[in-house]
Amino acid sequence: MSTVAKVFVVLNFLLAALFLGSASALLGHSDHWKARHTTDTTKLSADLNTEKNRSKALESELSKTQADKTASDTAAAERKREAETLQTQNATLKEKFDSLLASHAAATRALQIAQNTIDNVQKLVGVLQDSRKTDIDNLTKALAEKNEAVKMQNALEANLNDATQQLKDVLAKHATTQTELQRALFELESYRKLYPNGPGTEQPWQVGKVLTADAANNIVVVSLGAEDGVKVGYRYAVSRGNQFIATITIMSTQAKMAAGKVTLGNGSPMPGDDIATSSTK
């Protein structure tokens, strides 16, 4: 075997020994690293679980803290509203208190005035009591005078009743007399109609009825006409029962009727009234 070959053999041997040593060292280091890795992994897992538990605890505490904060904010808002309400109520109470103070002051002044008024009234009551006694005396006297006046008034009323009854009797007699006077006047008018100017008068005695009457124009149409001898200018007295109504003067004639104008009267003629020759000129 040549030297080169031996050298290569020795180098191979050395290289193999070196490789084996390196492999052994590497394998030992690898086993140590695995053990350390296992230990570290176990520790990290424990630490991770601890951190997870702490995180959960922190999250729970955070949730509780947030809930407490929300409750605290709600309570703070409620306290703020209550404070604002109390401020408003306080302002209202202050206004009422000021008003009560003003009212109290006014009441105090009014009480002073009332006290002064009471004193004046008490004085006035004394005066009024004295005046009342005088008034009672005067009233007693006036009542006595009133009783006398009532008696006199009763007597006067009795006399007035008698006088009133007498007046009624007189008025009744006057009405009767007036009626009799109207009847007498009508009878006198009738007598004048019968005997106006004695025998031979131009207008003869005639009687008839009112056919129509125009009160607005004082025109009357009667049932006597030219065939009955009625002429223009004839006068007729209009009566209703025993009452004299008017005197008419004939203005125009036709065969069976004539029209006249009211020249004297106490009323307005109406259809159906009686007419008779009048002696009035």
Distance CA 178, CA 36 (A): 165
pLDDT at 2 > cutoff 70: yes
Output the average pLDDT for the chain.
80
What residue ranges in the chain does DSSP mark as E strands? 207-214, 219-222, 235-240, 243-253, 258-265, 274-277
For 221-259, the pLDDT digits (tens) are: 999 999 999 999 999 999 998 899 999 999 999 999 999
pTM of the predicted protein model:
0.32
What 3-state DSSP class applies to 208?
strand
Cα–chain-centroid distance for residue 63? 67
Reported as a pLDDT band with limits 50, 70 and 90, residue 200 is very low
Reported as a pLDDT band with limits 50, 70 and 90, residue 197 is very low
In this structure, of 42-46, 61-65, 151-155, 156-160, the range with the lowest mean pLDDT score is: 156-160
What proportion of the chain, given as a percentage, has pLDDT over 70? 82
Distance CA 167, CA 227 (A): 55
For 106-158, the pLDDT digits (tens) are: 878 877 887 888 788 788 778 878 877 887 888 788 778 888 878 877 876 77
pLDDT computed for residue 192 by the predictor: 58
pLDDT computed for residue 139 by the predictor: 76
Q: Which domains does the chain have, with CATH numbers?
A: 195-277 (2.40.10.340)
Instruction: Decide which of 173 and 90 is more confident.
Output: 90
pLDDT computed for residue 198 by the predictor: 43
